[in-house]
Amino acid sequence: GVECLANEKIFAELARMGYDKPPPKLTFYKAIFSAQWKFLIHTLVQCVSAKRTAWNEFSCSIASAVICLATDREFNFFKYIFNIMVRNADRPSKFLMYPRFLQVLINNQMDDLSSHTTRYISHALTQKVFANMHRVGKRFFGFETPLFASMLVQPQPQAAEEED
């Protein structure tokens, strides 16, 4: 799968999604997208990004992942996550990364976790998040760019009912 697309491809595909002003650096801003694209980007950033900067911006790697998801191409999430974890291990100040993935690993390695009932709530999708999706960013020109056809659930042909 794809690890990171070429800059020209990123700019072209993000333009199709409604991102109209590529900055000189490879940092992109959610506020420039319409609500449905903001939500997809927000969800992806919350799930797999190793954020050390503001949550309203994302890198070319996340842009590549969004583009691959939107255009039905394979993105190498394993390599992306592995590389970030290796970089984190080399840093003097480490932090817990990808707790959801770690929980899956722990669940598979441990026999019985039924005695552990403490639940921690993730506030990644709060009411504020959904309100912010509809907030218009300063550089957003108001053009709603629909999701690509390949991303939408296609209606299934209904089987003709058999007559009795």
Residue 162 has pLDDT above 60, yes or no: no
pTM of the model: 0.65
Residue spans per domain, the chain: 7-101+123-142
From its phi and psi, is residue 72 left (phi > 0), alpha (psi between -120 and 50) or beta? left
pLDDT digits (tens, 9 = 90+) for 95-141: 777 776 777 777 777 777 666 677 766 665 566 665 666 666 666 56
Confidence of residue 2 (pLDDT cuts 50, 70, 90): confident
Confidence of residue 71 (pLDDT cuts 50, 70, 90): very high
pLDDT digits (tens, 9 = 90+) for 29-55: 888 888 889 889 988 888 887 766 677
Task: Output the average pLDDT for the chain.
Answer: 78
* C-beta separation of 59 from 87 below 8 A: no
